[in-house]
Amino acid sequence: MSKWPKVMIAIVMVLALVVVGCAPKEAAPTTEVEKVITIGILGSLTGPLRSIGEGAIACNDYFTELNATEGGVKYTDPQTGKEEVVAVRVLMGDHAWDAAKCMSLYERFKAEGMQLVFANGSAPTAVIYSACARDHIPGIQIDTTTDPFIYEIEEPYMSMAAPSMAVNGGPFCWAFSNRWKKAGNTGKIKIGQIAADVATRRVYSVPELGFEDYLNKVLGDDVDFLGTVYMPVAPVDVKAELTPFIEQHADLVLVDHWGSGACRVLMHDALDLEMHKKGIDLCIEWLPTDVPLAEPEMFDEYNKYSEVTCLSQCWQGSEPPEVVNDPRFPGLKLAYDLCAKYHDGVKPEERAGWYYIAGVKDAMIGAQVIRETLDETGYANFTTEKLRENLFHIGTIDSGGILPTYDPDPDCFMSYPCSIINEIHNGHCMVEPWKNPWSFVVGYTLYPGLNVKIADEYKDLVEFPPDPFRGE
């Protein structure tokens, strides 16, 4: 065979390969980008103030369940009109109610792409107010009172849960004053106060923003305030703090502490000093439910002679079945179901009570604002700036009855605008708004025009004290 046919065959083979290589290829199937929003949860999960961390745990439970059952947060894409879903990636860490650790967690989660932060604990949260504003990362507080100057930042990104305790105190002291009068007492009610010695409680002593000033505005001539003393975060004895109020013949001593150990020590010391036999009522404001559950006899003994109560900002997880299953309160039923599912079948009162339930409510607000933002922007145009705008201008907050449904003041957003007195019976902290209504906050020095609007169906379960800035 001559060499020319061989050459021709080789040329033809090469040309065939070139033609094949140039042939149009089938388009690779497009892979839809997974839609994810990243949130951070900074919780007080260990240490002497760990009870409040149950709110952070509940928030995590809520988003875990949302991802498992719905795939995440559902929304309507504004371009297509189709229902879409975005998964929620949760970063969770423990700061042990330590401000430096909280800031460290914040920075770590920011580096991992956090777009919304949930922060737990008043003083730890306060250290990230400015960081959130600097980084344009909006935030929601969990189970937290607030530094009174939170909204003094030019464009705040961390939203207010409850206002400072000096402001919270006015409405519930007004409610206590009413209870005291209904019991047949006359004259001024003498109120003394003990507070945890932490930065966010030192505001009680700040002139013009302090507790006494606000009490005088709300109660006027009906109160004789005996002063504030401070107790350690983890005390071994508080008789020295209690004694001045015994000597001044107090009618009511308020205790602003949320550590289980501290509350247990205080109850034992109050009984040892026989405060109950001297006619002194006691309100351990943010009492973790594990204390009366473990030692119900302490509270029963006190209640034989005087009254010991506590406060909460929502239900306590000790409600009878007819309340849990009441169609007005589906959010409460959800909190019970989440607690049972993720914590071996227990009720919320075994997870610090209202701290857990309120954490579900805060997670619901977070999911609501994510959904409303995505409804406007779609996933491709989602920004934390838009998320912040919608958070601070959120409309009706309907938590399914965890709190009364309300419209926050657009000029002063609060996710915890109220508290409720709990009676304590057989070791259970009882929320009974038909008997002891929710007391909502009113105007105060920094925000005198405060205006929270309650949904009609809850108005019989809510009361407002006189507003000293409106002359009401």
Query: Could you read off the pLDDT of 14-67 as tens digits, one per residue?
Result: 444 444 444 444 544 544 668 999 999 999 999 999 999 999 999 999 999 999
Note whether 170 and 465 are within 8 A (CB): yes
Q: Is residue 277 part of a domain?
A: yes
pLDDT of residue 471: 56
Q: Is residue 1 part of a domain?
A: no
Shared-domain flag, residues 427 and 387: no
Shared-domain flag, residues 260 and 293: yes
pTM of the model: 0.91
pLDDT of residue 32: 60
Q: Is residue 332 part of a domain?
A: yes
pLDDT of residue 74: 98
- Token pair 């003094």: residue: 152
Q: Tokens in use for 88?
A: 């929620």
Shared-domain flag, residues 442 and 346: no
Q: Is residue 287 part of a domain?
A: yes
Phi, then psi, of 132 in degrees rounded to 5: -60, -45
Shared-domain flag, residues 304 and 178: yes
> Of 442, 438, 358, 378, which is closest to residue 140 (Cα–Cα)?
358
Dihedral sign of CA atoms 289, 292, 293, 294 in order: positive
Q: Is residue 110 part of a domain?
A: yes
d(CA 208, CA 213): 6
Note whether 133 and 157 are within 8 A (CB): yes
Q: Is residue 215 part of a domain?
A: yes
Dihedral sign of CA atoms 256, 258, 262, 264 in order: positive
Tally the domains of the chain: 2
End position of a domain, from candidates 384, 407, 430: 407
Instruction: Give buried/exposed letters for 277-291 (b at 16+ CB in 10 A, else e).
Output: eeebbbbbbbbbbbb
> Of 312, 456, 457, 452, which is closest to residue 465 (Cα–Cα)?
452
CATH code of residue 252: 3.40.50.2300
d(CA 40, CA 106): 8
End position of a domain, from candidates 407, 428, 453: 407
pLDDT of residue 106: 98
Q: Is residue 3 part of a domain?
A: no
Shared-domain flag, residues 424 and 285: yes
Note whether 175 and 463 are within 8 A (CB): yes
Residues with pLDDT less than 50, the chain: 1-25, 27-28, 30-31
What's the CA angle centered on 319, arms 318 and 322, to 5 degrees?
155
What's the CA angle centered on 399, arms 394 and 403, to 5 degrees?
105
Shared-domain flag, residues 153 and 192: no
Shared-domain flag, residues 168 and 154: no
> Of 40, 188, 51, which is closest to residue 116 (Cα–Cα)?
40
d(CA 300, CA 164): 31
Shared-domain flag, residues 369 and 272: no
> Of 212, 210, 240, 208, which is closest to residue 226 (Cα–Cα)?
212
Which structural domain range is residue 289 located in?
163-312+418-472
Shared-domain flag, residues 120 and 53: yes
- Token pair 């026989």: residue: 274
Shared-domain flag, residues 191 and 336: no
| DSSP H/E element including 161 | none
H-type alpha helices, 35-143? 54-70, 99-111, 122-126, 129-135
Q: Is residue 24 part of a domain?
A: no
Give the other-Cβ count within 10 Å of 135's Cβ: 16
Strand partners, 312: 420
> Of 308, 316, 309, 318, which is closest to residue 355 (Cα–Cα)?
316
Shared-domain flag, residues 184 and 307: yes
End position of a domain, from candidates 379, 407, 435: 407
303-351 per-position pLDDT tens digit: 999 999 999 999 999 999 999 999 999 999 999 999 999 999 999 999 9
Please give the biggest Cα pair distance in the chain.
128
Shared-domain flag, residues 158 and 169: no
